[in-house]
Amino acid sequence: MQTILLVIQIFIALALIGIILIQRSSNDGLGLSGGSNNSFMSGRASANLLTRTTAVLAALFMANCLLLAWLAAHSGTEGSVINKMIEEEKPAEVPVNSGEPSVPVAK
């Protein structure tokens, strides 16, 4: 489930980046959305469409982020990654032998 949501997250992020780059800025930016009289949509209509598309993609991105965070928190593993790393770095306990000293004695 998390893998599917991560792939969806990547597609949403790429679409969001593309839509933002297409939009016209106050300096006319890339200027890909208008400029000619024979275009399908006027400059203002395409700006409204791009703004709404950006808002929808941003909402989907945030909802997917929250869902991924919730799934990670409730995935059944206890503790965080940092706690697991600290536990792995602890030295292994040496079993105590009853007959031998724990520190070698120089003779």
pLDDT tens digits, 39-97: 555 666 667 888 999 999 999 999 999 999 999 888 876 666 677 777 777 766 666 66
* DSSP H or E stretch at residue 50: helix 43-73
Provide CB contacts within 8 A for 87, sequence distance 6+.
none
Tokens matching residue 51: 């703004």
Place of tokens 């890339």: 30
Mean pLDDT score, 33-37: 51
Distance in angstroms between the alpha carbons of the first and the last residue of the chain: 63
Domains in the chain: boundaries: 1-24+47-72
Long-range contacts of 69-72 (CB under 8 A, 24+ apart): 71/1, 71/2, 71/5, 72/2
pTM of the complete model: 0.57
